[in-house]
Amino acid sequence: MTISSQEKNLFQDISFSAHAGELIAIMGPSGIGKSMLTRAIAGFLPSALTAQGSIRINGSEVANVPLIQRAASQRPAFIFQDALQALNPLVSVGGQLTLALTSSRTRPNKAQKQTIVSLLEQLGFESPKDTLGKLPSELSGGQRQRICIAVGLLSSTNLLVADEPTSALDPITEREILRLLSQSVKDNQLAGLLITHDLHTALECDKLLLIDDGQMLAFGPPKEALAGSTHQFCCSLRDLIS
């Protein structure tokens, strides 16, 4: 895939596959275009940018198909840096989770409510039933990110995209959210993309995609990817762990 504006190519010839149950870390210097890459995949690239080439989700071609025009199975769940961006501030947590599960605003039936409550328990909420009645603003940053993970798991997607989901969290909550993300990808056989600036986080992922200077530097199991390029960015990362 190539992403470009009228003035320049942001990237050229990026090509990789994400498989079920696999969490892929995406690393590259700040401003290089990691968010734009995932936005192209998700179908909400800014209008000034276009993607050429192929993006296939579950076998269907979706390059330049806006998110809103895609079938549910071609819409990735997206987890942002700031969960408040992703959640509707005026709708209760229960309302948002019901919408993700049923695609409707009607009250959940008993079985649906149990599905939601069980998921919140798995994601570490101590009082899931109380949480359902709260607005996003009444939760902590870490709790909001866990609700975003829950929204992703309840929707019919099998691609989860997380853009620096822990950058606003303390280190303990950060570890917990990353553990939940990785576990959720494995347990639900999703493909996961995680943009991160943290090398230790990237090393714990199944694969690492390294990008700089408008190109893909390396892709593969993290240590192999890091060893596989002589580009300055990769050398600097290698120095951090040697």
Per CB under 6 A, residues contacting ligand ATP are 5, 10, 28, 30-36, 46, 48-49
Q: Rank residues 27 and 190 by Cβ distance to ligand ATP and give the closer one.
A: 27
Q: Kindly state the smallest distance separating residue 93's Cβ from ligand ATP, in Å.
A: 27
Structure tokens belonging to residue 66 = 């806006």
Q: What is the DSSP letter of 23?
A: E
Nearest approach, Cβ of residue 230 and ligand ATP (Å): 21
Token digits of residue 65: 């198909």
Distance in Å, CB of 130 to ligand ATP, minimum:
35
Tokens of 226: 């890091």
Residue 160: beta bridge partners? 77, 192
Burial 145-177 (b: 16+ CB within 10 A, else e): bbbbbbbbbbbebbbbbbbbbbebbeeebbebb
Q: Residue 4 or residue 92: which is nearer to ligand ATP going by CB?
A: 4
Taking the least distance from each CB to ligand ATP, the nearer of 39 and 113 is 39
Shortest Å, Cβ 14 to ligand ATP: 12
> What residue ranges in the chain does DSSP mark as E strands?
2-4, 9-11, 22-27, 50-52, 56-57, 60-61, 77-79, 159-163, 191-195, 207-212, 215-220
Choice between 38 and 131, CB closer to ligand ATP:
38
Nearest in space to 194 (alpha carbons), one of 37, 5, 83, 54: 37
Residue nearest ligand ATP, CB atom distance: 46
Nearer to ligand ATP, 5 or 236 (CB): 5
The CB-of-51 to ligand ATP minimum distance in angstroms stands at 12
